[in-house]
Amino acid sequence: MKFRIWKSVFCLLASAITLLAHGQTAQQADYIVAVVNSEPITESELRLEITRIKQENAQQSQALPPPDELRKLVLERLIGERAQLQVARETGIRVDDTNIDQAEQSVARQNQIDVPELRRRLAKDGISLARFRGQLRDQFLLTRLREREVEGRLRISDQDIDRTLAEELQQANDPAAQEVNLAQILIAVTDKATAEERQTRQELAQKTLARLRAGAPFEQLVIELSAADTSAGGQLGLRRGDRYPPLFLEATQRLPVGGVSDVVRSDAGLHILKVVERKTPAPRSRASVQTRARHILLRPNAQLNAQDATARLLDYKKQIESGKATFEKLARDNSQDGSAAQGGDLGWAAAGLFVPEFEEVMNRLAEGKLSEPFVSRFGMHILQVVERKRVELTPAEVREQVRAQLRESRYDEAYASWARDIRGRAFVEMREPPL
């Protein structure tokens, strides 16, 4: 869940440059379109956000609603965000300049330019540095507010976990949820068959069943007698049980693989079914992947800005890759993290132990590979994955896995409820365009 929130922040920051790359639209008259608790939203803000959304959707080949509807949706989102920002400031959430420096560096790097070039493009497109950094600060404020408020609404009880585990166990034992491959011999009986013909067909079906139980090969009798498709030995294919006729499922659900059913009557005639294969849904994994990684952390400050920190980390990476220095020595001498004394070694870690932006980079790396410099809420890093291993989860860890899954699945609903609450408490005045 936190991963999604933090990832969305950096996606939004990167999209700012995408917008700049296309240039701004021609200057138009500006005016106030809405007031949120005495704070205005202008037409230019609304147009800029609509343009950004159009460009993002064009890149992803996604359809958009009609222009009037899109305008309403975007304005409503801006109103909601403005109300949330006001709550963030009123409740004392703060973002320091170091976070903004790191975010600015991240935007530049994601667009393969340096910070001076980023600022040059901003100025060229008429966007002041103060305004841009203010937008970055707002995104951090929203992120921290949502992490604090929405997560606080998510309550996963032990009973919720018990219920989920019980449902998974029930599904694993439910024949309708299992995948099964049945083969059939069909003795056709038409609607116009006489009673004597029906009796003859019934006797043939019973004799066929007796031959099977005496050891006759099923596939041979399929070819010899079946009125259905015989090309695959009468097999109907592996599918979920609930995709078979209920009478087929009922006749075979207690049979082992290789078992043959009694004669089953349907509108098409008389069937003899064989269970060729059966697969149960995969149970919840009782193992997890743990990663042993090491990193070098630099924390930008008044003496070391984000750009210089990145340059240092790139130099460390080059030294390690060329063999001029070891990761351990550079970490001991330079890292500003508690792991420096261990050569940057973070030990074995299960999923979810590190902050999401760090873990995302770590999970993408192959063993032995070094990352490019990247930003986390703690500073600038390079990291290396030393090795990975699979370990069995304890019962308590399985329950925590279920808890995390339930929190993730309920996040969107909790966020929507919280956002509606914030929006409902805000005083909003809509303004008409000037004549």
| Close Cβ partners of 267 (under 8 Å, ≥ 6 residues apart) | none
Which is it for the CA torsion 247, 251, 254, 256, positive or negative?
Answer: negative
Q: What is the mean pLDDT of residues 182-188?
A: 94
43 vs 33, 177, 374, 430, 433, CA distance in Å?
6, 54, 36, 12, 9
pTM of the model: 0.54
Confidence check: pLDDT of 265 > 90: yes
Of residues 203 and 62, the one with the higher pLDDT is 203
pLDDT at 3: 38
Question: What is the phi/psi pair of residue 25, to 5°?
Answer: -70, 165
Q: Into which CATH architecture does domain 176-279 fall?
A: Roll (3.10)
Q: How many Cα atoms within 13 Å fall on the side-chain side of residue 389? A: 9
Tell me the per-residue pLDDT of 325-344, one tens digit each, with 9 for 90 and over.
Answer: 999 999 999 999 999 999 99
Q: What is the mean pLDDT of residues 357-364?
A: 91
pLDDT-based confidence at residue 376 (cuts at 50, 70, 90): confident
* CA distance linking residue 378 with residue 370, whole number of Å: 19
pLDDT-based confidence at residue 5 (cuts at 50, 70, 90): very low
Could you tell me the residue ranges of all domains in the chain?
2-154, 176-279, 285-393
**CATH fold group of domain 285-393:** Chitinase A; domain 3 (3.10.50)
Identical fold between 176-279 and 285-393: yes
| Best CA proximity match to 82, nearest among 435, 428, 434, 350 | 428
DSSP symbols for 299-318: ---SSS-HHHHHHHHHHHHH
Return the C-alpha torsion angle 77, 83, 85, 91, nearest 10: -150
For the 2-154 domain, the top CATH level (class) is mainly alpha
Q: What is the mean pLDDT of residues 117-145?
A: 89
Of residues 256 and 351, the one with the higher pLDDT is 256
Of residues 170 and 379, the one with the higher pLDDT is 379
| Best CA proximity match to 249, nearest among 276, 226, 275 | 275
**DSSP strand E in 107-242: where?**
179-188, 235-240
Helix (H) or strand (E) holding 1: none
* CA distance linking residue 375 with residue 306, whole number of Å: 9
User: How far apart, in Å, do the first and last CA atoms of the chain sit?
Assistant: 46
Confidence check: pLDDT of 8 > 60: no
Q: What is the mean pLDDT of residues 198-226?
A: 93
pLDDT-based confidence at residue 28 (cuts at 50, 70, 90): low
pLDDT-based confidence at residue 53 (cuts at 50, 70, 90): confident
With contact defined as beta carbons under 8 Å apart, do 377 and 355 qualify?
yes
Q: What is the mean pLDDT of the chain?
A: 86
Q: What is the mean pLDDT of residues 371-396?
A: 90
pLDDT at 201: 93
Confidence check: pLDDT of 181 > 60: yes
* CA distance linking residue 249 with residue 254, whole number of Å: 9
Confidence check: pLDDT of 39 > 70: yes
